[in-house]
A and B are shown apart, each in its own frame.
Chain A
């Protein structure tokens, strides 16, 4: 095995290699740990069999668990974590609000409403896919929240606290709408399934979900990386960004659209998972500082690893039972966030 050392490669390539390695290791760990612990060698052998056409002798049941169940699930968890984390970062930067995140701003709730409206209430008559419904719901919710904040502020620039309050109102409203749709249209069995899904749940995830989650997450992260300089320019507000040559409206439109898209796709696959978009960007800022060129990739990788870890935790913390992953991210995320707040305010004196 060749070891990659800094200096052997151009800096950026080393960075990319490091990030890919970190995610690969996390995926392997995610595939190895679960109710039945499977040795890492076995996991690597299964992956070699499946991806490199090798023929290691592996127990067929182990192979099935690892490949069909755990590995696909870990990849979706990683995509979801990366996607939600970068969309939280984008919202924090564009709204200049440390508390912004797709969950808190009601975007996830709107996506849930859209998804439920399509699947349960039959909006669109089968012509609209679940993800498209979720995307529409996410955009409507965001427009609602921003509109509410602006109206409350007399159409002037939206203030930081106000937009969070509007987000809380939006999240409540769209959750209520979701409940209303479920109560009106779903039978008891459907309702139980949906409620479990709404809390964030990766247990039904299989390979077809990978083919949706991963391209969307990778695509959105790449688009956002291209806007890294533009995001830096928003540091001192949108007037400052415009004075630095950024097309403010267009940039906001594209980046918020991309964030809503990735949120909607993830919600439609695994439900609304909170705290990833809020906590991970702050953790990444602690590691590499506020410049987006480094911050975006590090946020994506940290989000991926965070959600794989949260998923593992959700599977093993109560033996014989799977906890909704949203519960785990909140249990880890809330204290982490409190810690970040305290340290940050101490540092600022």
Chain B
């Protein structure tokens, strides 16, 4: 449903994303992994139409994003990017209400449906009890959850998250991942924790701006690739409790 072909983006003359080919299917959870500076965030911005490709294109169900109106894109694609901060003394509920923007006209009032959707999003991300707190009083993890709730309130059918588990305690990391997997929508997320990436339907590995492998987690996260891309050694172990494999890393 969302696809990129020959997608490239340069900053000045420096290529940041190079010739990315990707096709995300409806309903899948697609994880993007790769070392710092490999171009994950930039690729996500391109996929959401927030950067204009220097070459190639991004298509949503066959339509080039550049031919769609911003509002149409926002009704289909919601994104949580990194470092979204404000100095306004906005409450958590007001922040989440921003998610309804693509569905509201300039003067149309905020309806009961909108209120219900906002409350739902607050509940799903476990921040309903923080609804009246102002932004500046929140911890990093609480802010992250508020942004995720804002994106959920957008009721888009593609959700793009850039390192959504950053700043979150382990309980909320797991519950956010569980939540996005349970949603009946397409999710694309950049992740740092490779064990968490193992839980995705498919993953893509970025290195130096290129997408060097895509496929099922076990096929992509091979010993050799991890060693090369991240410059670490990897062992996979079996959990004695449930028999699932997990990855351990050490310096070479």
Query: How far apart are A245's CB and chain B's nearest CB, in angstroms?
Result: 3
Interface size for B (C-beta < 8 A) is 33
Q: Is A235 a contact partner of B154 (Cβ separation < 8 A)?
A: no
List B contacts of A244 (CB < 8 A).
74, 98-99, 101-102, 154
Q: How far is the CA of A229 from the CA of B98 in the complex (A)?
A: 8
Q: Which of B81, B89, B106, B107 contacts A243 (CB 8 A)?
A: B81
Q: Which residues of B contact A246 (CB under 8 A)?
A: 70, 101
A348 adjacent to chain B (CB < 8 Å): yes
Q: Mark A232-244, 1 if CB is under 8 A from B, else 0.
A: 1101110110111
Q: Which of these, B81, B102, B107, contacts A239 with CB under 8 Å? A: B81
A residues in contact with B136, CB < 8 Å? 348
Q: For the complex, is A15 an interface residue (Cβ under 8 Å from B)?
A: no
- Residues of chain B lying within 8 A (CB to CB) of residue A289: 89, 94
Cβ–Cβ contact B90 & A290, under 8 A: yes
Contact in complex: B74, A243 (CB < 8 Å): yes
Q: Of B71, B87, B98, B107, which contacts A232 at CB under 8 A?
A: B98
Cβ–Cβ contact A226 & B74, under 8 A: no
- CB of B94 within 8 A of CB of A291, answer yes
- C-alpha gap A227/B105 in the complex (Å): 10
Do residues A235 and B50 form an inter-chain contact, with CB atoms below 8 A? no
Point out the residues of chain B lying under 8 angstroms from A285, CB to CB: 89
- Say yes or no for A147: interface residue by CB 8 A criterion: no
Chain A binding surface, main DSSP class: helix
Within 8 A of A (CB), among B74-132: 74-75, 77-79, 81, 84-90, 94-95, 98-99, 101-102, 104, 106-107
One digit per residue, 1 when the CB lies within 8 angstroms of any chain B CB and 0 when it does not, for chain A 283-297 equals 001000111000000
- The answer to the question of B73 belonging to the interface, with a C-beta cut-off of 8 Å to chain A, is yes
| CB–CB A247/B70 < 8 A | yes
Contact across chains for B75 and A243 when beta carbons are under 8 A apart: no
Residues of A within 8 A of B84 (CB): 236-237, 239-240
Given A229-B104, A236-B86, answer yes or no on A242-B70 (Cβ-Cβ < 8 Å).
yes
Judge whether B29 is part of the interface by a CB distance below 8 angstroms. Answer: no
CA distance A89 to B8 in the complex (A): 38
Residues of chain B with a CB closer than 8 A to A98's CB: 87
Q: Which residues of B contact A257 (CB under 8 A)?
A: none
- Does chain A have a CB within 8 A of B177? no
Q: What sequence of 0s and 1s flags, for each residue 95-108 of chain A, a beta carbon within 8 Å of any chain B beta carbon?
A: 01010000000000
B246 to chain A, nearest CB (A): 34
Shortest Cβ distance from residue B102 to the other chain A in the assembled complex, whole angstroms: 4
Name the CB-closest residue of B to A240: B84
Contact A227 B106 (CB under 8 A): yes
Shortest beta-carbon distance from B190 to chain A in Å: 15
Q: Within the assembled complex, what's the spacing in Å between the Cα atoms of A97 and B73?
A: 28
Chain A residues near B87 (CB-CB < 8 A): 96, 98
Residue of A nearest to B84 (CB): A236
The answer to whether A239 and B71 touch (CB under 8 A), given A229-B106, A290-B88, A290-B90, is no
Q: Is the CB of A245 within 8 A of B75?
A: yes
User: Besides A237-B86, A240-B98, A243-B77, 10 other CB < 8 A contacts?
Assistant: A226-B107, A232-B101, A237-B85, A243-B50, A244-B99, A245-B73, A245-B74, A247-B69, A247-B71, A289-B89
Please report A residues at the B interface, Cβ cutoff 8 Å.
96, 98, 226-230, 232-233, 235-237, 239-240, 242-248, 285, 289-291, 347-348
26 contacts between A and B (CB under 8 A): A96-B86, A96-B87, A98-B87, A229-B101, A229-B106, A230-B106, A235-B88, A236-B98, A239-B45, A239-B50, A239-B81, A239-B84, A242-B70, A243-B50, A243-B74, A243-B77, A243-B81, A244-B98, A244-B101, A244-B102, A245-B74, A247-B69, A285-B89, A289-B94, A290-B94, A347-B89
